[in-house]
Amino acid sequence: MKRTLLSVTLLAYFLTAFGQDDQEITALTLDDCIETALERNIRLKQVRNNQIIAESNRFQSIMNFFPSVSAGINYDYFFGNFFDTNAARQVSETTNSSNPNLSARVVLFNGFSNQYLVKQRKNELYAAEQTSESTRREIESLILGSYLTVILDKENIKIAQERVDLLAAQLDREKKRESVGVGNLESVYNFQSQLASQKLSLNNLQNTLQRDLLALFQAMALDPGNKYEVLPYEVQEEDLLLEVASFDEVLEESLSSSPALMAARSSYSASRYILKSARAQRLPTITASGVIGSNYSSNGARNPSTGEVESNASFMDQMEYNAFEYLNFSMNIPIFTRFQTSNNIQTAKVNMINAELDVDQALVNVTNTVQSVYLDLVAAQNTYVSAKENLEATAQTFEFMKKRFDTGNTDFYTYLESLNNKNRAELELINAKYSIVFRQKILEIYKGSESSVN
């Protein structure tokens, strides 16, 4: 039994391992990541659902100008003595009766509340549309940042791996030199120590990459258990140093196309109409209503043509005999509403003030973000030029020091320092390059340029 159980367990393990190795790898470009996130993001779906609700509310506000129409019919049983108005006599037997009718009611005047409501709902719909666009841009920015972080992690790992390979080759060389008596153990130990340290750094970088990959996949709502390969981003060198427009131009363009700012302004406009509607509650409401109907009684009905009561009149005959039309105009004047109207007005005022503050806050947020990204972009471009020159110089220095170390004309620490300087210059150049790419695309998003998804 134990042998059988062990065989089954091993078989299941190998099948699982085979299935994982055979699992198809999905390649993801930057556009794929953004597009997937936009399709799967729950918050974006909720915002778009709110947009549907806002459209429904706007349509309903227009329908409020039309009369409400309803039809009704009842069938009653009367027991005992009562006066039957249809038969025009006192009756004591069980009576069946019915009163079918068609009624309509329309508000003629309610302090222009309906007009205000239409304008309120129109602004709320526009705000919902802009909120949806703002959320979409936020998701694009989030994915863009996560994606470029992953790419930067991979570049750092690449440099670290090259360093490991270089130190490993140097260690192997020093071991051979020491074995034939032309080297020394100090160099071997120094390279062993540095190689172990670099392998630890490489392992930490790989762990960082896995965490950043997980953050990217979570932002895209993907299953981290599946296999994905985030493809590198092709950087066009000629685009890195493109002349940037002035800050004032970038800011003006960003503010004019900011959906968050436009949503806040529309919400403020809607709050103004809410206040007007609240004040309109103090005005009288005038309504008109009308009813078309008839009556039926099992005791019969009076024929209006002859003036005689026909006790056996049919249902349809009675519908004709007892047909009536009714029209009513009414005016409701609020006198004391237990301060509900005053409270609604006060609440609407405060909400309008808060909505105005939301506009100011949105303006500040966009300005601060654009200013930060713009200054970082300019700084990254300046850094890129210097880092490129620095890398060329440190690379030349390292090659020179490597040859001197190989020939025994310099010590290990001077060699290691030149290697560290070269690797540091490589990291600075990569960071500057991707900082430029990231901030260029962020500014494109804020300026309302074409989406990153092409």
Cβ pair 108, 288 in contact under 8 A: yes
SS3 assignment, position 82: strand
Cβ pair 51, 132 in contact under 8 A: yes
How many domains in the chain? Answer: 2
**Could you tell me if residue 9 is inside a domain?**
no
Distance, CA of 347 to chain centre: 29
- 29 plus 172 within the same structural domain: yes
pLDDT of residue 450: 52
- 275 plus 290 within the same structural domain: no
Give the integer Cα–Cα distance in Å for 344 and 336.
14
Tokens read off for 443:
């500014």
**Could you tell me if residue 369 is inside a domain?**
yes
Give the integer Cα–Cα distance in Å for 386 and 120.
55
User: Residue 105 pairs with which residues in a beta bridge?
Assistant: 68, 289
> Where is the domain boundary, 294, 309, 333?
333
- 134 plus 49 within the same structural domain: yes
Please list the alpha-helical segments (H only) found in 223-297.
237-240, 247-257, 259-280
Give the integer Cα–Cα distance in Å for 70 and 105.
9
pLDDT of residue 22: 55
pLDDT of residue 264: 97
Please identify which residue in the block is written with the tokens 């249902």.
Answer: 315
Give the integer Cα–Cα distance in Å for 104 and 148.
63
Give the integer Cα–Cα distance in Å for 117 and 336.
24
Maximum Cα–Cα distance for the chain, whole Å? 141
- 278 plus 359 within the same structural domain: yes
**Could you tell me if residue 16 is inside a domain?**
no
How far are the Cα atoms of 130, 134, 248, 249, 257 from residue 447, in angstroms, in the given order?
Answer: 14, 12, 12, 10, 6
Tokens read off for 49:
């659902």
**Could you tell me if residue 253 is inside a domain?**
yes
pLDDT 10s per residue in the chain (454 long)? Answer: 445 444 444 444 444 444 445 568 899 999 999 999 999 999 999 999 999 999 999 999 999 999 999 999 999 998 888 888 888 888 888 889 999 999 999 999 999 999 999 999 999 999 999 999 999 999 999 999 999 999 999 999 999 998 899 889 888 888 887 887 776 788 888 889 989 999 999 999 999 999 999 999 999 999 878 899 999 888 887 778 788 889 999 999 999 999 999 999 999 999 999 999 999 999 999 999 999 999 999 988 999 888 888 888 999 999 999 999 999 999 999 999 999 999 999 999 999 999 999 999 999 999 999 999 999 999 998 888 899 899 999 999 988 988 888 887 888 888 888 888 988 898 899 888 888 988 899 999 988 875 444 4
Cβ pair 391, 412 in contact under 8 A: no
- 194 plus 123 within the same structural domain: yes
Cβ pair 377, 244 in contact under 8 A: yes
**Could you tell me if residue 228 is inside a domain?**
yes
Q: Give every CB contact of residue 191 below 8 A, 6+ residues apart in sequence.
A: 167, 170, 171, 174, 412
**Could you tell me if residue 7 is inside a domain?**
no
Cβ pair 129, 51 in contact under 8 A: yes
- On the CB side of 196, CA atoms within 13 Å amount to 5
- 87 plus 119 within the same structural domain: no
The CATH number given to whatever domain includes residue 366 is 1.20.1600.10
- 173 plus 45 within the same structural domain: yes
Q: What is the DSSP string of 92-117?
A: -S-EEEE--EEEEEEEEESTTHHHHH
- 58 plus 128 within the same structural domain: yes
- 145 plus 273 within the same structural domain: yes
- 103 plus 192 within the same structural domain: no
> Where is the domain boundary, 275, 305, 333?
333
How far are the Cα atoms of 43, 69, 222, 380 from residue 138, in angstroms, in the given order?
Answer: 11, 46, 18, 22
pLDDT of residue 13: 42
Cβ pair 325, 259 in contact under 8 A: no
- 306 plus 164 within the same structural domain: no
DSSP state, residue 25 = P
**Could you tell me if residue 14 is inside a domain?**
no
Give the integer Cα–Cα distance in Å for 389 and 106.
79
Domain enclosing residue 79, as ranges: 69-109+285-333
- 86 plus 191 within the same structural domain: no
